[in-house]
Amino acid sequence: MGLFDESDSDDNEVAAPTAAAVTTTTTTTNDDGEDDDEEEDPLDAYMKSLDAAPTAPSSSSSARKEEGGGGRLDVDAEDEATSHWEVAGIKHSSNSGAADSRLLPKHHDDIIDDNVVVAGNSKTSASTREARSTMYDTFVRAGDNKHIKNNNNNNNNNNNEENDEITNLQKIRQHQKQMIHQEIDPLERIDHRKMKYENFRRVFYTPPNTDMGRMWRKEHEVVCTPPCDPILGFGDLVDGDGRKGEGSAVFPVELVHAIARAGYDSPTLVQSQTLSVALGGRDALITAATGSGKTLAYIWPMIVHINNQPHIIPITDGPISIILTPTRELAKQVYKHAKTFIQCIGGRAVEVAGGNRGTWELTKDLRKGCEIVVSSPGRLIDMIKKKGTNLGRVTFLVLDEADRMLDMGFEKQIGSLLEGVRPDRQTLMLSATFGKRVEKVARSWLRDPVR
């Protein structure tokens, strides 16, 4: 027959109804009072079986069969699939109406929105609220990086770790500061009255004091006390044809050529005023901004000073000029300029501020003989104590960035070095600032300085 044929035995048909529903017949009575058995239409039989189903849904297909009602296997399967969903003792049913959320458990709906009504309940149960609290403790809202509760503990732990790190860093910096500022045993005091020093020339140029110089200083806001005219061009230090003349030339020809090769055609403001003071043999306290050319302002007079003294005897003699700097970085910069211009007259410069070279290597390099030593105060004292060099021939001394050396705690070390150098030396002190402390030490380190 058709789909509901009793003889149809296809086991794979999902929606096949029961045999009793398909073969149901009805007995009718005709007008003659005789019973007339008449086969009922299969479609009418199936529809009647649906109407005969119980109104109260059961939780399984077996219950439907026991109650004698027909059913659909897809609905029965859905009931079985959702029969285990329970919240506060309420079991979800597939036939609970349009308001029922068939696919989500009740506590999930409550967590999403307290206004959602599940299975006719309008209030959130205690177990549901507990489940929500548990879920919020376990999961994280979108955009959060860490658990809410764990954040507090982690923040406290992180704060403690950061405090420990800061404390350790402060201890390390304090230790480094102590290492920098630690007192170094001073050099042995020398009685200079018992020492026999060779005479040396200090004055190479006598600067005038004219109205032109006063106007220049006023125009460029340069202060010089006592006043003296600046040197505005290198031509003022050599004669017309570039050779030495009697009383007219100050710079040696080799130095003039080296300056030209380096690309300098005229001195800067600080160089113009410093050259006239330093070549005049005076001590000076020079205050100028960084990058104004202070380094060459004292290196060029230093070359002139060295060029007019006897040659260095290796192993025996120490340097003629010493440049003290507060840091290794500044020492390297100064050393490059000093090396460039001392080589033009056949001299040598040595950097003793630090680096990869040890004491033995530095001692070996110093004993070869050098006219200029660039070093920090503590390192130079160490080399003198280890007999790497000596201060016997030092006649020109420069303290570069003296204010910074004072701030770093080098005052006693510098004082120890100055006591070991002959008193009639020429000293130039350069500082970026001019405060009371700088002025105080300048009085003790310099002799009648020009400021």
| Residue 433: pLDDT band with limits 50, 70, 90 | confident
Q: Please, how many CA atoms are within 13 Å of residue 283, restricted to the half-sphere of its CB? A: 17
Q: Which residue has the higher pLDDT, 433 or 169?
A: 433
Q: Which residues pair with 321 in a beta bridge?
A: 372, 396
Residue 11's identity, in one-letter code, is D
Q: What is the mean pLDDT of residues 225-237?
A: 92
177 falls in which pLDDT band (50, 70, 90)?
A: low
Percentage, residues of the chain above pLDDT 70: 59
What would the DSSP string read from start to end of 293-332?
SHHHHHHHHHHHHHHTSPPPPTTT---SEEEE-SSHHHHH
The secondary structure of residue 284, as a DSSP letter, is E
CA 271 to chain centroid = 38
**Left if phi > 0, otherwise alpha if psi is -120 to 50, otherwise beta: which for 218?**
alpha
Please compute the mean of the pLDDT values over residues 36-48 and round it to a whole number.
Answer: 66
Neighbours of 325 (CB within 10 A): 25
Q: Residue for token digits 């150098």?
A: 421
Distances (CA, A) of 246 to 119, 301, 310: 119, 19, 20
Q: What are the structural domain ranges in the chain?
A: 101-141, 192-445
* CA 41 – CA 162 distance, rounded (Å): 87
Please state which architecture CATH assigns to domain 192-445: 3-Layer(aba) Sandwich (3.40)
Higher pLDDT, 121 or 300: 300
